[in-house]
């Protein structure tokens, strides 16, 4: 009964997601798109209702997961609205979607553009038009919106050559008065947008400079997080709260957990920060979030205050965090597993049951555990994690969550840089629904599905959001997505038998 209720709740949420987002870009019926995505849970629920005592064949587990997104994308492409159809219902080129991703208020400003005073005078407009050489970008139309000037036309050369040429020409006329944005419409037509630069030196009115680097605040939060994670680490190692009150020195037993976890989270955010600094992107220092319960921290973050210059910068800044944290996670996890012990498998398990964790829920966790613990770890056995192993295990979970290709998560930035913003939105929607499907198989992922459901799927664009990545970065991005899969997917039964696990 609980399975049926969960099925109806999550299937309803899936339909709402498709109706609100994907139905706008395709004529394929919403119910058909929903059916394509619901093939896996329909098969799984049908199996469990008809064969409640038998385990599901691996083919029925993995084949629907592979076919469902393929059919889903094919249906979207079959009904995708063409530029000609768009033009029938719009007086100008439809760039409403990119506008929303650039600056949210432009969607409502579009209605007022005819009554708005142009932000430049006629002489400046003539100079603006001269900034677009015919052989680089054939300018056809200039639209004035309250927050931007849109320059619409046809790209006549490679994007990596067009953007710097047009940008240099415009800066000679307007200096740093505008940010020069290069994007594509949903139909793949590149356009330029000039947005007022809030940090312009030459502008008559500019915003006051915000002090971004606050080292005292960062150090205080770091020390508080060290305290809270050390207390939680002591509790993980078996120290009771009453014992801490009578013997405060016992708190030192929590240091292996706290130091390892802070190292993983700190390197993750520091990697983001250093690459942002390399690309001269305005950003804050990494800040930790201490809490006196659960894991002792809600993680760490940096806040980026200026646009990304291009998709290469988006990719590098995004992927640096998960890879940096992962490179620390693996040795920490291996070290912690070496001091962990094997225990009997409990009747009920969850992903945060550190005293008796089943490593088979994750392909990567299972393989690492077997390599470190050897013949001691066999079938029907679980692991009582050492505090350092707990930190490494949390590092894996953090890496997987950040690599989810949705919206403003690191994975969302990565697929945005690899495939462009339009395709990244579709990938994000597919990921949302796949996570809902995974929640049917493993209820632990229900929280993940809910988090992704309420997370925006649209990532902020780069100034040059048209120039594509090189092959090396595409391969690195593919590796990141494979890493996500090997962390999330459970150990197949055939591999478990081969490993005697």
Q: What is the pLDDT of residue 82?
A: 53
- Residue 365: pLDDT band by 50, 70, 90 thresholds? very high
| Residue 98: pLDDT band with limits 50, 70, 90 | very low
pLDDT > 70? residue 381: yes
Q: Tens digit of pLDDT for each residue in 140-171?
A: 999 888 778 999 999 999 998 999 999 999 99
Half-sphere exposure of 182 (CA within 13 A, CB side): 23
Confidence of residue 81 (pLDDT cuts 50, 70, 90): low
Three-state DSSP class for 153? Answer: strand
| DSSP β-bridge partners for residue 344 | 381
Q: Give the position of tokens 């609980």.
A: 2
Residue 438, both tokens: 């995974």
pLDDT of residue 132: 94
Q: In what helix (H) or strand (E) does residue 384 lie, and over which residues does it extend?
A: strand 381-384
Looking up tokens 């706008």 gives 24
Alpha carbons 421 and 434: distance in angstroms, whole number:
20
**What separation in angstroms does the CA of 332 have from each of 90, 177, 368, 400, 486?**
57, 49, 12, 16, 18
> Could you give the CA distance from residue 459 to residue 463 in angstroms, rounded to a whole number?
13
CA end-to-end span of the chain: 32
64, 86, 71: which is closest to 28 by C-alpha?
A: 71
How does residue 49 score in pLDDT terms, banded at 50, 70 and 90? Answer: confident
Average pLDDT, the chain: 82
Residue 114: what pLDDT? 43
> What pLDDT shows up at residue 369?
93
Over residues 487-496, the mean pLDDT reads: 88
Bigger pLDDT: 266 vs 246? 266
Range picked from 13-27, 214-228, 418-432 for highest mean pLDDT: 214-228
Q: Is the pLDDT confidence value at 134 over 60?
A: yes
Cβ-proximal residues to 389 (8 Å cutoff; 6+ apart), any chain: 333, 335, 336, 337, 339, 340, 383
At residue 9, the pLDDT reads 65
Across 79-88, 239-248, 482-491, the highest mean pLDDT is recorded for 482-491
CA distances to 282, 343, 368, 375, 500 from 380, rounded to whole Å, are: 51, 9, 17, 13, 10
Q: Which of 154-158, 164-168, 338-342, 346-350 has the lowest mean pLDDT?
A: 346-350
Instruction: Name the DSSP class of 298.
Output: E
Q: Give pLDDT, residue 5.
A: 63
Predicted pLDDT of residue 110: 41
More confident residue, 367 or 4: 367
Q: For residue 113, what pLDDT band results from cuts at 50, 70 and 90?
A: very low
E strands along 21-75, which residues? none
Give the pLDDT score at 434.
82
φ/ψ (deg, to 5) at 179: -90, 130
List pLDDT tens digits, range 470-479.
Answer: 999 999 999 9
**Do 501 and 417 touch, CB atoms closer than 8 A?**
no
């Amino acid at each position: 009964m609980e399975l049926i209720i969960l099925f109806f709740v999550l299937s309803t949420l899936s339909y709402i997601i498709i109706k609100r987002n994907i139905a706008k870009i395709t004529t394929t019926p919403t119910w058909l798109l929903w059916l394509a995505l619901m093939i896996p849970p329909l098969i799984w629920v049908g199996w469990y209702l008809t064969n409640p005592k038998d385990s599901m064949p691996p083919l029925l587990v993995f084949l629907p997961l592979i076919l469902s997104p393929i059919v889903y994308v094919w249906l979207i492409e079959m009904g995708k609205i063409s530029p000609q159809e768009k033009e029938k219902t719009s007086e100008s080129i439809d760039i409403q979607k990119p506008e929303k991703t650039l600056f949210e208020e432009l969607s409502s400003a579009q209605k007022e553009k005819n009554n708005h005073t142009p932000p430049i005078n006629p002489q400046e407009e003539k100079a603006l038009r001269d900034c677009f050489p015919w052989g680089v970008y054939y300018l056809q139309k200039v639209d004035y919106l309250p927050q931007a000037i849109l320059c619409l036309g046809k790209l006549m050369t490679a994007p990596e050559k067009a953007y710097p040429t047009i940008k240099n020409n415009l800066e000679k006329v307007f200096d740093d008065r505008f940010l020069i944005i290069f994007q594509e419409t949903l139909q793949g037509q590149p356009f330029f947008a000039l947005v007022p630069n809030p940090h312009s030196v030459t502008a008559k009115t500019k915003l006051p400079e915000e002090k971004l680097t606050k080292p005292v605040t960062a150090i205080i939060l770091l020390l508080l997080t060290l305290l809270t994670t050390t207390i939680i680490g002591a509790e993980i190692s078996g120290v009771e709260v009453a014992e801490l009150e009578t013997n405060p020195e016992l708190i030192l037993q929590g240091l292996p957990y706290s130091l390892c976890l802070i190292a993983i989270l700190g390197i993750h955010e520091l990697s983001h920060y250093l690459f942002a600094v390399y690309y001269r992107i305005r950003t804050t220092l990494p800040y930790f979030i201490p809490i006196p319960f659960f894991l002792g921290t809600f993680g760490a973050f940096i806040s980026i205050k200026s646009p990304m210059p291009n998709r290469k910068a988006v990719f590098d800044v995004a992927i640096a965090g998960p890879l940096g944290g992962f490179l620390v996670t693996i040795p920490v996890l291996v070290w912690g597993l070496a001091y962990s012990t094997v225990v009997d498998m409990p009747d009920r398990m969850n992903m945060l049951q550190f005293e008796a964790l089943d490593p088979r829920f994750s392909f990567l966790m299972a393989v690492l555990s077997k390599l470190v613990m050897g013949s001691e770890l066999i079938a029907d056995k679980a692991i009582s994690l050492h505090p350092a192993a707990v930190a490494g295990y949390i590092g894996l979970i953090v890496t997987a969550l950040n690599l989810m290709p949705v919206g403003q998560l690191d994975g969302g930035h990565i697929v945005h840089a690899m495939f462009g913003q339009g395709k990244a939105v579709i990938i994000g929607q597919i990921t949302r629904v796949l996570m809902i499907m995974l929640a049917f198989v493993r209820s632990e992922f229900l929280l993940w599905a809910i988090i992704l459901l309420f997370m925006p799927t649209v990532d902020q664009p780069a100034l040059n959001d048209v120039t594509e990545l090189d092959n090396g970065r595409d391969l690195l991005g593919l590796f990141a997505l494979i890493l996500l899969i090997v962390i999330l997917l459970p150990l197949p039964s055939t591999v478990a038998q081969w490993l005697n696990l």
